[in-house]
Amino acid sequence: MESLNNKEQQEFQKIVEQKQMKDFMRLYSNLVEKCFSDCVEDFTSSKLNNRELTCISKCAEKFLKHSERVGKRFQEQNALMNQNLR
Amino acid sequence: MSFLGFGGNSQPQLSSQQKIQAAEAELDLVTDMFNKLVDNCHKKCIELKYAEGGLNNKESSCIDNCVVKYFETNVKVGENMQKFGQNFQPGRM
């Protein structure tokens, strides 16, 4: 990959920020879908019950810890792979 | 990062736009792989009970192995595709 000069880097940075925003929205809506589908199953009331609330909070926390751990391992593997290519 | 031998070092001078597009494509590739990794390993490793908010030991080691195996799968598929590519010309079925 050819390196980018200052001006190119600035332009690229803008693209990165746009993508991060999009990625965050994607993450958010995926997490809502996941925790809703795994935790909410009682539709006799329109309020989330305690069991559902606890489940949702654990579901979200677990997911964030999961993606954090995947991120760490991902970086390690990525570094290893780049090393082996050189 | 370069997959399957794409993005080798044989290109002549690229325009600014081409370089940024290449960087963007690489970012997309890495982001896409990361997102797939998060989805796949979540499906395979996280217990649906949500007994606790943190990761338990079983889940943690499952995630670690899952990520390494995903990379290994990536490499193996790449190798297979290269072999395949030697007797295959795109556009000519």
Task: Indicate which CATH number applies to the domain containing B49.
Answer: 1.10.287.810
Instruction: Classify residue B92: in a domain, yes or no.
Output: no
Cβ–Cβ under 8 Å, residues B71 and A77: yes
Contact residues on chain A for B41, CB-CB shorter than 8 A? 66, 70
Smallest Cβ distance to A74: which of B26, B53, B67?
A: B67
What is the ipTM for the molecules in this complex?
0.84
Could you list the residue range(s) of the whole structural domain that residue B63 is in?
16-87
Residue A17 at interface with chain B, using a CB cutoff of 8 Å? no
The domain tally of chain B equals 1
Instruction: Classify residue B69: in a domain, yes or no.
Output: yes
Instruction: Classify residue B31: in a domain, yes or no.
Output: yes
pLDDT value at residue B13? 77
Which is nearest to B70 in space by CA: B19, B34, B43?
A: B34
Angstroms from B92 CA to nearest CA on chain A = 30
Q: Provide the pLDDT confidence category of residue B12 given band limits of 50, 70 and 90.
A: low
Q: Mark yes or no for CB contact B53/A57 under 8 Å.
A: yes
pLDDT value at residue A47? 97
Instruction: Classify residue B5: in a domain, yes or no.
Output: no
Average confidence score pLDDT of chain B:
86
Ordered by start, the domain boundaries in chain A are 6-85
pLDDT in tens, A59-83: 999 999 999 999 999 999 989 988 8
Q: Mark yes or no for CB contact B64/A59 under 8 Å.
A: no
**CATH code given to domain A6-85:** 1.10.287.810
- The predicted model scores a pTM of 0.80
Q: What separation in angstroms does the CA of B63 have from each of A41, B32, B41, B80?
A: 28, 18, 6, 25
Contact residues on chain A for B48, CB-CB shorter than 8 A? 38
Q: Mark yes or no for CB contact A85/B2 under 8 Å.
A: yes
How far is the C-alpha of A22 from the C-alpha of A28, rounded, in Å?
10
